[in-house]
């Protein structure tokens, strides 16, 4: 039986499809809620260990610049499509630890959070955990659209960075960014190059559907038409595309024209070049591009496609640049470096860091091990879980996911385990960047510290909980219990009176009155 299909859009060149506008609209309308609610995933891609990996590479790059005598001018670290800001926080936290131990004069740096969504930029500007970084000039915010922006207006510093203004290379971070930009689409069969169009249909009536619901209902109908030759204005694009004719067989191929034009715009800002760090799902090996079916749209509220890192790398090399891509096949994440810099071989620290934190062991490995942990969590003991938390860079989401098991295990600990667990909890708090989610991490950490009999520390975390969520009967109750354990009689009585005045109907406070302070 033939089902009726609603026509959403007739055939258009892939990069001009309505899909891309819907994607922008989704981010514009949803703002940080996209990540707060967990609709767009970011745990495996922006966790603390990923931040640490980027920080290692940035730190190495700063050392290379210092070795080349470039100590004085500021290095701008521009995060493209920063979204939620959590990755930036992780990078800044790790980077400050590394730079404090550098033992050499490094160039100053300023991290610039950018996006096309004004709500996200406002969120960054108002976030309490970012204020110390804004205050000392290590952080700024700018609107930057990959499609067309040619300048950076730094909102805190009140300066505009325009063509050739920078005396240091610009460092750009593109984490899960190229997968959200429009791509051109081609089809290669038996040496013949074809352009591709896509039409959009839906099995359900699209009237009144929001972007996420529409994405879930969309069907993409591809069509191809033979091309005599690549028709870009940019000869390098044409030569990369023409090269694929001999190299790939019977395959659909995404070509990141707009991503490459974005890199061109970024390159213009500095007299010294551009260093791009990028992680995403995608491929840099030519054989991974072969025999690809029509591209699969990955839906998660918004949509994304896999990234043709091969083309990004080829473009960098055609500009006499240097590229680092994973030496070993990856499972989930590709992390690559594009050095649009003269004499790339001078960046020895950066190369060594890449060898260590990507080729040696890196985010792709961790993402697999995190999944393993979640599957086997109930069989894990405390040292194993603490090991996983340390391996994950003390990531707070990883912590939340293993918390029920940690609570069980904290009931019976050795002296050494008690110390290690408490140390681990403080580290996790130090890495926590709130998106104002409903989960109260401080309260949970306070509860664990109470169970471990670290009452002074527990009080501190219950206070953090109150600072963020306001007074609740539970945080009062726990704080009062801490005062009882610490024999802080006056604080005990005063806080109990305050709690009863705030929450006169909370019956459990009466039990606290029965506690014997003299015991
Ligand atoms: C998949 S999210 C990634 C967010 C974050 N980088 C991460 O790794 O979780 C894509 C981000 O790119 C932004 N974005 C989409 N189109 C963009 C464009 N043309 N220029 C700049 N940012 C864009 C979106 O607003 C969103 O914040």
| Distance set, CA 493 to CA 263, 456, 477, 488, 504 (Å) | 63, 17, 12, 9, 15
Per-residue pLDDT for 304 more than 80?
A: yes
Averaged pLDDT, 483-507: 95
Looking at residue 55, its pLDDT comes to 98
Share of the chain above pLDDT 90, in %: 90
Looking at ligand 1, which residue's alpha carbon is closest to its atom 11?
81
454's tokens: 């670290």
Report the residue among 28, 90, 115 best suited for mutation to probe ligand 1: largest number of ligand atoms under 8 A from its CB. Answer: 115
Distance 134 CA to ligand 1 centre (A): 22
Tell me the β-bridge partners of 300.
Answer: 302
Instruction: Give yes or no: residues 152 and 269 share one domain.
Output: yes
**Band of the pLDDT at 518, cuts 50, 70, 90?**
low
Instruction: Give yes or no: residues 166 and 302 share one domain.
Output: yes
Mean pLDDT of the chain: 95
**Band of the pLDDT at 2, cuts 50, 70, 90?**
low
Instruction: Give yes or no: residues 399 and 277 share one domain.
Output: no
**CA 214 – CA 201 distance, rounded (Å):** 10
Per-residue pLDDT for 427 more than 70?
A: yes
Q: What residues flank ligand 1, with Cβ below 6 Å?
A: 24, 27, 42, 45-46, 80-83, 87, 115-117, 145-147, 175-177, 180-181, 304
Q: Is residue 50 part of a domain?
A: yes
Relative to the CA of 147, which ligand 1 atom is closest? 19
Instruction: Give yes or no: residues 65 and 164 share one domain.
Output: yes
pLDDT single digits (tens) 189-215 = 988 999 999 999 998 999 999 999 999
Looking at residue 248, its pLDDT comes to 81
Report the residue among 33, 177, 265, 334 best suited for mutation to probe ligand 1: largest number of ligand atoms under 8 A from its CB. Answer: 177
SS3 sequence, 189-219?
ECCEEEEEEEEEEECCCCCCCCHHHHHHHEE
Distance 146 CA to ligand 1 centre (A): 9
Instruction: Give yes or no: residues 156 and 295 share one domain.
Output: yes
Distance 177 CA to ligand 1 centre (A): 5
Q: At what angle do helices 396-409 and 415-430 cross, to 10 degrees?
A: 160
Three-class SS state of 35: helix
Looking at ligand 1, which residue's alpha carbon is closest to its atom 21?
145
Instruction: Give yes or no: residues 151 and 272 share one domain.
Output: yes
Distance 468 CA to ligand 1 centre (A): 28
Distance 353 CA to ligand 1 centre (A): 26
Helix residue spans in 170-277 (DSSP H): 211-217, 235-247, 257-268
Per-residue pLDDT for 516 more than 80?
A: no
Choose the final residue of a domain: 304, 328, 362.
Answer: 362
Please give the tally of structural domains in the chain: 3
Per-residue pLDDT for 69 more than 60?
A: yes
Choose the final residue of a domain: 302, 330, 362.
Answer: 362
pLDDT single digits (tens) 104-149 = 999 999 999 999 999 999 999 999 999 999 999 999 999 999 999 9
Looking at residue 513, its pLDDT comes to 87
Residue 505 parent element (H or E): none
pLDDT single digits (tens) 315-325 = 999 999 999 99
pLDDT single digits (tens) 329-357 = 899 899 999 999 999 999 999 999 999 99
Looking at ligand 1, which residue's alpha carbon is closest to its atom 1?
176
Distance 354 CA to ligand 1 centre (A): 24
Instruction: Give yes or no: residues 391 and 506 share one domain.
Output: yes
Of 60-69, 290-299, 394-403, 482-491, give the lowest mean pLDDT range. Answer: 290-299
Looking at ligand 1, which residue's alpha carbon is closest to its atom 12?
81
Q: Is residue 141 part of a domain?
A: yes
Do residues 429 and 442 lie in contact, with contact meaning Cβ atoms separated by under 8 Å?
Answer: yes
Relative to the CA of 27, which ligand 1 atom is closest? 25
CATH number of the structural domain spanning residue 488: 1.25.40.10
Structural domain boundaries, residue 19:
6-23+185-233+240-253
Q: Residue 517 class from Cβ within 10 Å (0-12 exposed, 13-18 middle, 19+ buried)?
A: exposed
Q: Is residue 518 part of a domain?
A: no
Report the residue among 35, 40, 54, 116 best suited for mutation to probe ligand 1: largest number of ligand atoms under 8 A from its CB. Answer: 116
Three-class SS state of 405: helix
Looking at residue 436, its pLDDT comes to 95
**Band of the pLDDT at 376, cuts 50, 70, 90?**
very high
**Band of the pLDDT at 228, cuts 50, 70, 90?**
confident
Relative to the CA of 258, which ligand 1 atom is closest? 19
Q: Which residue has the tokens 């930036």?
A: 88
Q: Is residue 372 part of a domain?
A: no
């Amino acid at each position: 039986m033939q089902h009726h299909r609603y026509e959403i859009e007739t055939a258009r060149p892939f990069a001009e499809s309505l899909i891309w506008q819907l994607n922008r609209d989704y981010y514009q309308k949803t703002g940080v809620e996209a990540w707060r609610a967990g609709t767009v995933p970011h745990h495996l891609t922006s966790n603390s260990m990923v931040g640490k990996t980027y920080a290692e590479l940035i730190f190495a790059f700063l050392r290379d610049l210092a070795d080349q005598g470039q100590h004085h001018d500021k290095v701008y670290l521009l995060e493209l499509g920063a979204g939620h800001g959590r990755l930036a926080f992780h990078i800044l936290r790790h980077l400050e630890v590394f730079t404090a131990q550098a033992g050499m004069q490094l160039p100053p740096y300023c991290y610039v959070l950018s996006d096309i969504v004004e709500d996200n930029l406002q969120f960054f500007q108002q976030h309490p955990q970012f204020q110390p970084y804004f205050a000392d000039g290590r952080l700024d915010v700018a609107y930057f659209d990959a499609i067309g922006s040619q300048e950076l207006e730094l909102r805190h510093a009140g300066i505009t960075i325009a063509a050739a203004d920078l005396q240091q290379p610009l460092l750009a971070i593109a984490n899960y960014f190229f997968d959200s930009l429009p791509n051109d689409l081609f089809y290669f069969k038996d040496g013949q190059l074809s352009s591709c169009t896509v039409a959009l249909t839906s099995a359900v009536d699209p009237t009144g559907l929001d972007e996420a619901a529409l994405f879930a209902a969309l069907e993409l109908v591809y069509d191809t038409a033979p091309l005599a030759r690549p028709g870009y204005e940019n000869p390098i694009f044409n030569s990369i595309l023409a090269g694929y004719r001999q190299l790939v067989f019977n395959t659909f191929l995404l070509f990141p024209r707009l991503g490459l034009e974005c890199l061109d715009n970024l390159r213009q800002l500095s007299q010294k070049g551009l260093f791009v760090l990028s992680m995403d799902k995608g491929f840099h090996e030519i054989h991974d591009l072969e025999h690809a079916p029509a591209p699969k749209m990955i839906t998660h509220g918004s949509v994304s496609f896999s990234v043709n890192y091969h083309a990004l790398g080829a473009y960098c090399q055609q500009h006499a640049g240097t590229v680092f891509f994973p030496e070993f096949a990856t499972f989930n994440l590709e992390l690559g470096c594009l050095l649009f810099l003269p004499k790339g071989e001078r960046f020895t620290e950066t190369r060594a860091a890449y060898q260590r934190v990507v080729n040696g062991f890196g985010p792709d490995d961790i993402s697999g091990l995190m999944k393993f942990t979640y599957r086997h969590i109930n069989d894990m003991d405390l040292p194993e879980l603490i090991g996983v938390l340390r391996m994950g860079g003390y990531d707070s989401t990883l912590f939340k996911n293993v918390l029920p098991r940690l609570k069980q295990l904290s009931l019976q600990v050795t002296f050494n385990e008690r110390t290690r667990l408490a140390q681990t909890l403080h580290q996790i708090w130090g890495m926590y960047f709130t998106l104002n989610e409903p989960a109260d991490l401080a309260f949970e950490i306070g509860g664990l510290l109470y169970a471990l009999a670290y009452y002074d520390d527990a009080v501190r975390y219950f206070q953090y909980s109150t600072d963020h969520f306001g007074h609740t009967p539970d945080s009062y109750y726990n704080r009062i219990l801490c005062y009882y354990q610490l024999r802080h009689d006056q604080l005990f009585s005063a806080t109990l009176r305050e709690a009863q005045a705030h929450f006169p109907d909370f019956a459990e406070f009466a039990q606290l009155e029965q506690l014997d302070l003299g015991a």
